[in-house]
Structures are given as structure tokens and as C-alpha cells.
Amino acid sequence: MREEIEKLAAAGKIRAADVDTLEKLATEGFCMHKSWGFGRVTTVDVVLGKMTVDFDGRPGHGIDLSFAPKILEPIAKEHIEARKATDMDGLKRMAALQHHEVIKVIVDSYGQLATNDKVQEVLVPDVVEKDDYKKWWETARREMKKDGHFKLPTRKTEPIEYQSQDIPLQERLLGDFKSARGLKARLPLAVEIAKSAGDLDDATAAAEATLGKLNEEIASHARTQSALALEAVMVRDELAKALGAEVAEDAPGAAAIWETAPALSELLTSMPVPRQRRALESYQASDENWAEALIDLINHVPARLVGESVSLLCEGGHQQTLADNLAHQINHHTASGELLLWLAKDKGGDFASILKPETFGAMLSAIERETSHEKRASKLRDFILTDADILETLTGGADLAVVEDITRAIQMSTCFEGMDKRSILGKLVKAHPEVQQFITAADKEAKEKDATSAADATLIVSWESLERKRADLEELVQKKIPANSKEIEIAREYGDLRENAEFKAAKEQQKVLMALQAEWESDIDRARGMNYSDADTSTANVGTRVTVTNLDTQAREDITLVGAWDGDPDNNLISYLTPMGQAIFSSAPGEEVEFQLGEETRRLRVEAISALAS
């Protein structure tokens, strides 16, 4: 096969640089397409210069041999995807009996791309059922740790590595700990050592190699990176316990970190979520004024931290002080969205009595503050939209007048739009059916205003121009947009999209075409067709011939007032939407009008109006 492919290169039908790639595609029989994924090469015809590849959903896809190396990457028969296509039963047996061997196949196949997520993507659901994967992965991790060849990543985005040398678990873990660059990189390794304590050969040696280093770095980070230092204190204490070691009496602890007076909200939000409760308890033990600080804190941290802080305050006997503070912030609309989100989620808890109609007003204010920046999300808004009971909880027992005030606030608020606003009002009606009449009256008034606006937005057009516009739209949707989509698909196969000029040009053209489609569809929806022969000639209307006199030059001319899409100024066909058309429109004989044309002001007098056909 190589000899035949080389002949094609010699004849100039393919590039010489592509010979090796084509040979691998032909001999290995498997490939990866940049867009379509795994494929099986079924035929290679050097006479016709084509190969046939079966892709998922695209069987028998023909590709020119000259083009194939640009879009296909050959893969070996041992590649995990090839194994799935040729020996699925064997892979499933391996996955059931030798978990780590399947991982090795994936690492060999994907190299630096073999992350934890990639392993799951490759195996589920073809090789391992989705419901079984979590348990399967835990077993696989244990097997890899004991095997001695695998180097497991400490971050999900890092790849799993397979080393030819069999390195004992303790040596590997301590080596990674020692070579880690900085405290932040060292902490997940210390956690891994603690988890593996039962499998280590010499726990005492492990403690000697790790605890001292952690103490040293905690001391150096206590003032400059207090959150990281506090987390390190927790990890160190856990590691010492797991290894059966004692923490030195002079080792830096949490108290040393709090003595540096770090910003509480900044420190807590910088810490991993599972350690935030312990951090709060640590602060509580270090500061006698902790309750006052936590009451201030809850308005500056995420809802989960609000809950943890409130729990500590209640346990410490500060529930009434906290309730008074919450009521004050709600009444003055200064409560944060996250604080109110916690309160809404905890609607059956100790502070349920605070959830009153006034609280909803504070919620609207908080959402408006949160969403004042474009595209800014609000968890509180999302909760109000999705929770079935929150509006009933907030308005339960309220007078109709109060409910109507809330209804009016929702209708006027910018926090909710379109379907979201209707959904909120629907929930309010479900809780208070009597408010439906109020909403209906408001909707009727809004519809009347909308109808007036819609009339103003109507486009008057001739039936002929409306048909032309519809034909143009049909050609755009049925021909031009599909042709552009095909251009994008072809350009995508040329390679790296960042450097692909054809792809960028096709995508830019797509934006133009889609915008044009939206514009034309909107115009057609607004259009009202008419026969010019039916025009009212009592005033200047669309479909009338109007004789005017230029008051500055005394020159007289005839113009025809036409619809939005029939204008032709060179032939005195003036669209009623132009400045001149707008000035003349609805004028009667004898009326004088003026309009701005660039920097020039023109003054005309309407002399006569006649039907277009006359």
C-alpha cells in the first residue's frame, strides 16, 4: 500500500508529506475526525484517489485522499475507540476485573488529554453503566494507587500519567509533596497522603517529611495569604491525626492567623466550601466580639455562608439580635440578594416570621442592584421564579390592597420580563385569586397602549411590493442561508478555526444573513398591503399624486406618495416614510409644510391632490 501511495505523491496527486498519514489510515483502519469523531476506514482506492469512512450517523462517507490528511487523524488498532468498535465484550470484561488496565489503555490512547473527565466520557455508558460509574471509579483509583505505575493528578484538569517504573506508593506521594511548588500546590498532596495513610509503609517517616514543611509554610503565609494558611492548619491537623503523629507545641495554629486581623468576608469566601464552617468556628473561638462581626458578615457573603453564620449565632444565643438586624435591613432595603436568598430558602425555619410583603419589596431592590450590570445573574431572582411557594409565603394573610401593591410593583419592575413576569403574576393569582381582576384591568390598559404603538409601527405597502419582499425572504431562508451553512461546514474542515480565514468569513456572513432574516420577518409582520387605486384623495395619502409648490423657488412639481418599499426619488415616487413623505402625508390642499433635508430646510405648499390612476 505504501508503494501505491508514494506513486500518487510522485504524480503530484497528493502531498509527499501526507504519505505516512495515508499509509497509517490504510493499514490501521481507524481515525478521528475533528467534527464527527471516531471513524472506521472501510476502503482505500488509489485509482480513484478516494477513501470511504464509516462515521457514527455518516456511513460510507467518501473523502479525497488529497484532503483526508487535513481532517483525519489515524489511530492505532489498540486505541480505546478502536477497541470499543472491535472488542467491546473484551473491554467490558477488563473493566469488570482489572479496572486500572482499562485506565492504562485510555492513557496510552489520549496521553495528556487523559483527564478524569475524559475517562468518564470514554467509558460511560458504552463500557460502564452510568449508575455504576462512581463506585467503579473509586475502585479504579485504589487499584491505580497500589499499582505503583500511575501518577494520579491532584486537579481534575490534569492528566493521569502512567510511568514505566514501579514506584512504591509512599515514595511517590512524598516525592510529589516535596517537589510541589508552593503551599497551595502542596495542600492537595497532603490531603492525598492522609487518605492513603493506611497503605503507607512508614507513617512516622511520612509525618517527619510533611508536618515540619507545612508548619514552616503556614508561618510564612499567615499574614500575606491568611485563607491559605488557615486551610493549611486544618490540613496539617488532619494529616497528623491520620499518621498518628502529634503537632508540635510551638507549631503555628489558627490563633496566630486571626491575630493578623484578616478581612473576615474575604478570608472565608477564599476558602474551600467544605472548610468554611470550621473557619467560622475557629474565628468564634479567637474573638470575643465574634457575634457582632458575624451579624455584619451575613450581608456580604454567599447564601451558604449566611446559613453557617446564622447557625453559629443561634447556637450562641444571639437569635433575637439577629432577627432585629434582619428586620432593619429589610425595612431599609439594604439586605443583599444572597442574604435574602438564604432567608427565602429557610422559609420554614426560625426566621419565618420575617417573611412578609415588605420582604418582597426588599427582594426586588436587591435584584435590581444585582442585575444593574448587563447580563449579571441573580440567584434570588431565579429562586423566586422556580420556587412554587415563596410568593404565597410572603403574602399569606395580607390584605387585598397590599397584594395589589405587590402586583403593581411586579408589573412595573425591570427584574422580570416577558414570560418570567407572567409566571410570577400567575403564582400570585394562585395564592390570591381575587387579584386576577386587578391584573386583567392593568393588562387591558397595557394592550390599548400597545395597540396604539402597533398602529404607529404599521408599514403601509403595495400588494406587489409585499409579494416581492416575501419572495426575497423565501430565497434568503431556502437558498442563501443553507448555502452559507454548507460553506461553514466545508471551511470548518480546513483546520484550526483560530487561523481559518474561510471559516471566519463564512461565520461573519452568517451573522449578516441571520440579521437580515430577522429584519425582513419583522417588516413583513408589520406590513399592511393596499391597492393604490383605493386611496383617499381628500388628503395626501399613500397612492395619491400630490402637486406641490416650493415656496423658496416658486417651482411646482408633481410627486407620487407611495408605500414603504416602492420609493424611487429619481421618478418622483416618494415613500411616505421619508422626511418629505412624512411632511406631506395627511396634508390637505392649501396647507404649507416644511421638512429637513440634510442641513437644508424646505418649505412646500400642497396645491392639489388626485388619484394615482388619473
What would the pLDDT profile of 361-390 be if each residue is shown by its tens digit?
Answer: 999 999 988 876 544 678 999 999 999 889
Residues 6+ apart with CB under 8 A from 37: 55, 56
Looking at the predicted structure, is the pLDDT value of residue 476 above 80? yes
Residue in 226, 308, 223, 233 with CA at minimum distance from that of residue 267: 226
Q: Are 298 and 306 in contact (CB under 8 A)?
A: yes
**Beta strand spans in 381-422 (E):** none
* Mean pLDDT, residues 436-444: 74
Residue in 11, 67, 13, 59 with CA at minimum distance from that of residue 38: 59
The proportion of the chain whose per-residue pLDDT surpasses 90, expressed as a percent, equals 63
pLDDT tens-digit readout, 131-160:
999 999 999 988 898 888 898 887 788 999
What pLDDT, on a 0 to 100 scale, did the predictor assign at position 322? 95
What pLDDT, on a 0 to 100 scale, did the predictor assign at position 449? 53
Contacts 24+ apart (CB under 8 A), 215-220: 215/248, 215/251, 215/252, 217/182, 217/183, 217/186, 218/183, 218/251, 218/252, 219/252, 219/256
Looking at the predicted structure, is the pLDDT value of residue 499 above 80? no
Spatial distance between the Cα atoms of 319 and 316, rounded to a whole number of angstroms: 8
> 614 falls in which pLDDT band (50, 70, 90)?
very low
Spatial distance between the Cα atoms of 123 and 102, rounded to a whole number of angstroms: 9
* Residue 159: CB atoms within 10 Å: 17
Dihedrals phi, psi of 527, to nearest 5 degrees: -75, 140
Rounded to the nearest angstrom, the gap between the alpha carbon of residue 412 and the centroid of all alpha carbons in its chain is: 28
Contacts 24+ apart (CB under 8 A), 214-222: 214/183, 214/186, 214/190, 214/239, 215/248, 215/251, 215/252, 217/182, 217/183, 217/186, 218/183, 218/251, 218/252, 219/252, 219/256, 221/183, 222/252, 222/256, 222/257, 222/260
Looking at the predicted structure, is the pLDDT value of residue 454 above 50? no
CA-to-CA separations, 98 to 141, 172, 271, 512, in angstroms, rounded: 11, 22, 38, 55
CA angle 13, 15, 19 (to 5 degrees): 105
Task: Give the HSE-up count for residue 75: Cα atoms under 13 Å, Cβ half-sphere.
Answer: 24
> 495 falls in which pLDDT band (50, 70, 90)?
low
CA-to-CA separations, 82 to 72, 74, 76, 87, 88, in angstroms, rounded: 15, 11, 7, 8, 9
Looking at the predicted structure, is the pLDDT value of residue 455 above 50? no
Q: What does pLDDT average to over the chain? A: 89
| C-alpha cell read off for 109 | 490512547
| C-alpha cell read off for 255 | 490563633
3-state secondary structure of 74: strand
Spatial distance between the Cα atoms of 560 and 463, rounded to a whole number of angstroms: 17
Predicted TM-score (pTM) of the model is 0.57
Q: Are 43 and 52 in contact (CB under 8 A)?
A: yes
Torsion of CA 245, 246, 250, 251, to 10 degrees: 50
Spatial distance between the Cα atoms of 528 and 466, rounded to a whole number of angstroms: 8
Of 216-220, 306-310, 493-497, the range with the lowest mean pLDDT is 493-497
* Mean pLDDT, residues 102-129: 94
CA angle 315, 320, 324 (to 5 degrees): 135
- Burial class of 472 by CB neighbour count within 10 A (0 to 12, 13 to 18, 19+): middle
Looking at the predicted structure, is the pLDDT value of residue 284 above 80? yes
* Mean pLDDT, residues 10-33: 94
Looking at the predicted structure, is the pLDDT value of residue 311 above 90? yes
Residues 6+ apart with CB under 8 A from 467: none
